[in-house]
Amino acid sequence: MSLLKPASYAFRGLDAGGAWSIDFEAIEGIKCFALYSGACWVELAGPPAPVRLEAGDFVMLPTGQAFRLYTSTEAAPLDAEAFFSSFPTGEIAVLNGGGGCLGVGGYFDFDGLHADRLLAMLPPLVHIRAEANKAALRSSIERLMSEMRAPQPGSSLIAGHLAQALLVEAIRRHLAERSSNSTGWLFALADRKMHAAIAAMHADLGRRWTLKDLAGVAGMSRSSFAARFKATVGEPAMDYLTRWRMMVAAERLTAEGLSISVVASAVGYDSDSAFGAAFKRVIGRPPRQFAKVAA
């Protein structure tokens, strides 16, 4: 989440009645919708097939692609931007008198250089069903709706924090449900031993890590650790470490404006030339050129 760098978000409630359909255009970032009561359908512009949402469900669209939210395919679709823009951010938009379907939806935009790469690890539609929700996710939805239905001083600030908490809880639930048959560093965090090794790398990027060191952190033999890391993360441990170092280095060169020498040392390189070669291999261009273009 720190590399994603959440920059902005906007949330509104929706209280809709009767037959309705709303079209949402594609945007950069994450779109999401939590259903408090009633039922409706969500359909992406492409696969997968339409998904029915019940009270307590949460749906997240990490790739920001266009989608439709509806109760009836026969209803003439409304343009989401035109409809919701007439209601202030943080309030509830009423459609057809309301009373049939109540929920809250919105988007998160990100400033992180690697946001697209990180979000691409998630499927185009993440559906967290009510029966799978943990108390934290349910309480976030209920508290968010409460702040929107009965605004008080500071409600918009509290709603913003609740929305971010809802996003994190949803990602946690998705990882917990999919970790047994999914590959990638996000899903590997559900594996206690791999989590320990990944956390150690992230916490001390400047350390001259060896495969033996990381295996020790995970409490495994070198060979067993190497095989398990590749199987769960999808790439060898040292390759992952190099790629993560370069992603962090790219952020520090641009967002923090640090010199190449300082960044190289901070991510575990003794020489600028060795760092430059690794950076170009992972990011696609030399660090000095990258920093100049990104500035």
3-class SS of residue 190:
coil
> Rounded to a whole number, what is the distance in angstroms from the first to the last CA of the chain?
22
Task: Summarize pLDDT for 100-144 with one digit per residue, the tens.
Answer: 999 988 887 776 666 666 676 677 888 888 765 556 666 777 777
In sequence order, which ranges of the chain are alpha helices (DSSP H)?
Answer: 80-84, 115-119, 135-149, 155-178, 185-188, 192-203, 211-218, 222-233, 237-254, 260-266, 272-283, 287-294
Cα dihedral 67, 69, 71, 77 sign: negative
Q: Is the pTM of this model over 0.75?
A: no
Euclidean distance between CA atoms 192 and 34, whole angstroms: 30
Report the side by side order of strands in the sheet with 126-128: 92-95, 6-16, 101-110, 30-37, 58-61, 126-128
How far CA 185 is from CA of 208, 286, 292, in Å, comes to 21, 26, 30
Question: How many CA atoms does the CB half-sphere of 38 hold within 13 Å?
Answer: 19
154: left (phi over 0), alpha (psi -120 to 50) or beta: left
Q: What is the pLDDT along the chain (295 residues), one digit of tens a residue?
A: 666 666 667 778 899 999 999 999 988 778 888 898 999 999 998 777 899 999 888 888 887 789 999 999 999 999 999 999 898 877 889 999 999 999 988 887 776 666 666 676 677 888 888 765 556 666 777 777 777 777 778 777 777 777 777 777 777 777 777 655 566 777 777 788 999 999 999 999 999 999 999 999 999 999 999 999 999 888 999 999 999 999 899 988 987 778 999 999 999 999 999 999 999 999 999 999 998 876 6
